[in-house]
Structure 1
């Protein structure tokens, strides 16, 4: 008989231990049975079948015993499965508890960090207040002494820089020639500008720092305009921060335009117009001239927007590299003082386009330049009712040549004025680092300062003189704006030749 095997039996030795008593008894019974069967085999053959049946019965009993013995193993397996499930659930719960604990620890650390940061800020704030209080006590103690304090304590929020150069220049014994070389004007003119600007640019002291004096503010601005040095060098020269110098320069230039321009750069009144007519006529013999007009270009770095509008074709051809500029149109009186300026238009515009954008053009359209007054311009302007320009066509007559020679003497007045303007203020000769939107403020301040120097008869160092290169595009004669102006110019040319005012080349 084949005994069925089970997959769940854990150990054969375990089964043998359980079945050992029953198997021993079964072996003893089997031996006795065989002896009895041997004795009976001779007596009766029919006794064999019952014996076999009896043996089969015992085998069935053995099978039942085995099944009963294996039944606890099935229960044990089910029990183990239950234990595994419970253990898995417990592990999941432990993992969840661990994650929650770690999260709590992280949040606690973050809270502790924030708390430490807040505590550190409070500590620094208290320290700053204590230092401020000590400074105030020191100032109060010095004031209580009723005498000048010689304690040079270090101010809060101020970096210790050397301003020895400016202190030397500001000393009363500093030579006049050296002062004029540094700031393009004498001490008296400098003092006058400081006095005029004082109500606008003066600042008061604070508990943390002393205000920069007005004289130093003006000096920073004039030095920057005169030399064109970058802000880094200006900062080192005056012992101030770069951002402070930039701010001071814009503030002073703005004050010059708002306070001094209306006083030192204005269109002449009737009395001055008569005076200018007489002086220009004595120069050239051309009557009714009230001003000499010229347009110059100021180099700039390539702008970030609308770059083609500022592209200067003539400068590019001359310098053999891309050049960009803004324009300054100025009208000068016989002394070279500007009476009208138009500043900041893109360098690609022609002289006539710049003129059309100016306040002078609007003034002429309103009839304020009537009664035969002339503003003399170069060949970059068209001939108009109030703009007198030289002849530009080919094959000129002697009369026309004579007129062009005399009108150049008037043109020279404005060109020389621009030469002195750029010579005094070197920032106009270099590609400036000033922002494009701030450039008109700086250029306007330079024009006003130029007029002040001319009014005060400030002589310019010959080494500073520059040559002004013509940038105008010659306008052909077909661009005439008025037939009456053409007839008036021909009459002037005729009178010059026949009244002895022709140039020496025609004698």
Structure 2
């Protein structure tokens, strides 16, 4: 198919050829003036000149280059370079970035070797602290690329690329340093104070809403008829995540995600905690266990509450289980309230 611009050029060329033929016709008529039909031919040529001028005028307007006011829309990063660094107090910083400056500086230094870029002749590279700030502001304020781009004085496409790079780098560099078991003895002692001994973690799952993917979107529809991905988390007695698993479609059940998770297989094989310490309870050896809600299956290392219609002893068990298991539910609540983008539809690209 011929592009429109090429058709316009061909049209103009044909009009110019006709106009050139008419001019040469006038020259020939001038050389042989006095013919019987000379006046009629001159009138005919005048009419053709008017028609050609009317045809050529709009095409010439289309072919003329459009004068742009700017090749690149002007932007300013005064919010980041001036206000956030010199004017904002620590309270304002924590209000927008949901963390103290010291924690932010630590996060900046860890992935710096992976995020640092060189300046080019065309433009300067985005500094590492600015890249990390863009990703954190995106997570804290409902995931708007336009808001982040305006705040930091960059283009929307630049903001998108930077945010994705920072999040992938955080997963590669910071995830293992932030999400780990730690001292299992302190974890077990902490859950024992809550009423449940031998517990190394409380497990639960939540749904992270996403924009409907282009392919196989039906797999990501959960029970609330929303597109989502499942985030499974395991927390210690303080509500700190010690294990996370994500990437499964929202239509899957929590049991399926748990059975596919590494912590499930590690506890089943008895290798999650070195030595697999046991405790004698009611004459039986009990190893490290997890606490889950009623959606999870009952296993020797995974305990769930009793169903409705339980006895008095079972009610005491359920209350202690709920008191110990609530730490993971509170952890999810704190995470979603701090990073509001997790409560909105994430428009990230899914790798099928």
1:381 lines up with 2:315 in the alignment: no
1:357 and 2:256 correspond = no
Q: Which residue of 2 aligns with 1:297?
A: 207
Equivalent-residue separation in structure 1 for 2:109 and 2:205 (angstroms): 32
Q: Name the SS of the counterpart of 1:199 in structure 2.
A: helix
> Is 2:103 aligned against 1:189?
yes
Aligned residue in 2 for 1:331: 234
How many Å apart are 1:158 and its aligned residue? 6.3
Q: 1:158 to 1:340 in 2, by over 3 A?
A: same
1:171 aligns to what SS in structure 2? Answer: helix
CA contact (8 A) 2:196 2:324 kept: no
Indicate the RMSD between aligned Cα atoms, in angstroms: 2.0
- Give the equivalent residue in structure 2 for 1:399: 313
2:198: which partner in 1? 288
Partner of 1:408: 322
Counterpart of 2:228 in 1: which secondary structure? strand
Shift of 1:168: 3.0
Q: Which residue of 1 aligns with 2:187?
A: 276
Equivalent in the alignment of 2:23: none
d(CA) in 2 for partners of 1:388 and 1:282? 18
User: 1:29-53 CA distances to partner (integer Å, 9 max, x unpaired)?
Assistant: xxxxxxxxxxxxxxxxxxxxxxxxx
Match of 2:331 among 417, 436, 449: 417
Higher-RCO chain (CA-CA 8 Å, sequence separation at least 6) = 2
Mapped partners of 1:230, 1:188: distance in 2? 25
CA distance in 2, matches of 1:292, 1:235: 39
Deviations 1:312-353, CA, capped at 9 Å, x for gaps: 12x2xxxxxx31211000000111111100102111111111
Q: Secondary structure of the residue that 2:234 maps to in structure 1?
A: strand
SS at the partner of 2:123? coil
In the TM superposition, what is the alpha-carbon distance from 1:273 to its structure 2 partner? 0.7
Instruction: For residue 173 of structure 1, report the CA deviation from its aligned partner.
Output: 4.2
- Rounded to whole Å, the distance in 2 between the matches of 1:309 and 1:171 is 45
Q: Structure 1 residues 404-413 or 354-363, which shifts more?
A: 354-363
SS of alignment partner, residue 110 of structure 2: helix
More helix by share: 1
CA contact (8 A) 1:163 1:239 kept: yes
Separation in 2, partners of 1:177, 1:231: 24
How far does residue 397 in structure 1 lie from its aligned partner after superposition? 0.5
After TM superposition, the structure 1 = structure 2 runs for residues 36-435 of structure 1, keeping only pairs within 5 Å, are 159-268=73-182, 272-283=183-194, 285-313=195-223, 315=224, 322-369=225-272, 370=276, 371=278, 372-392=287-307, 394-435=308-349
1:433-466 C-alpha deviation (Å, 9 max, x unpaired): 111239xxxxxxxxxxxxxxxxxxxxxxxxxxxx
| 1:445-464 mapped onto 2 (5 Å cutoff) | none
Which secondary structure does the structure 1 equivalent of 2:332 belong to? helix
- In the alignment, the residues of structure 2 paired with residue 250 and residue 162 of structure 1 have an alpha-carbon distance, to the nearest angstrom, of 22
Partner secondary structure for residue 266 of structure 2: helix
Contact 2:143 2:346 in 1 (8 A): no
Number of residue pairs aligned between Structure 1 and Structure 2 = 273
Q: Distance in 2 between matches of 1:375 and 1:300?
A: 29
Runs of 4+ in 1 over 6 A off after TM superposition: none
1:161-214 superposed Cα distances (whole Å, 9 cap, x missing partner): 111211234424421111111111111111111111211101121222211111
Mapped to 1, the partners of 2:108 and 2:174 lie a distance apart of 11
Normalising to structure 1: TM-score of the pair?
0.52
- The residue number in structure 2 matching 1:51 is none
Residue 169 to residue 290, structure 1, CA distance change in 2 (3 Å) = farther
Gaps of at least 5 residues in structure 1 are: 1-101, 106-156, 316-321, 439-507
In the superposition, relative to structure 1, how do residues 249 and 233 fare at CA in structure 2: closer, same or farther (>3 Å)?
A: same
Say whether the 8 Å CA contact 2:237–2:327 is kept in structure 1.
Answer: yes
Greater Cα radius of gyration, structure 1 or 2:
1
Inter-partner Cα distance in structure 2 for 1:255 and 1:172: 28
Deviations 1:122-181 (A, max 9, x none): xxxxxxxxxxxxxxxxxxxxxxxxxxxxxxxxxxx9653111211234424421111111
1:274 is displaced (CA, Å) by 0.8
